[in-house]
Amino acid sequence: MYDSFMNKFEFKNLVKNLKNSLKEKTFFKDLRKEVNTGANGTQDYVVKKGANKDTIATTKQ
């Protein structure tokens, strides 16, 4: 019968862990910065040499 109930120590630890995890999640949510895709040429790569010079490279082969 006692196994189904938490003692005060376990309950305090549970509340403390939930509080800390909620605080951590809100920090990550607030401090995350939005990123511009393709801002520094990272989205489309241009072929520099060869038969396909000055064309945009794709992942399709």
pLDDT digits (tens, 9 = 90+) for 32-45: 777 776 666 657 77
Q: 30 vs 61, which has greater pLDDT?
A: 30
Q: What is the span of the domain harbouring residue 2? A: 1-33
Q: How many domains does the chain have?
A: 1
Does residue 51 lie within any of the structural domains? no
Does residue 50 lie within any of the structural domains? no
User: pTM for the whole thing?
Assistant: 0.42
Percent of the chain with pLDDT over 90: 20
Does residue 53 lie within any of the structural domains? no
Q: Phi first, then psi: what are they for 15, rounded to 5°?
A: -65, -40
Does residue 4 lie within any of the structural domains? yes
E strand or H helix that includes residue 45: strand 45-46
Does residue 39 lie within any of the structural domains? no
Q: How many residues does the chain have?
A: 61
SS3 39: coil
Does residue 29 lie within any of the structural domains? yes
Does residue 45 lie within any of the structural domains? no
The tens digit of pLDDT for each residue in 8-23 reads: 888 899 999 999 999 9
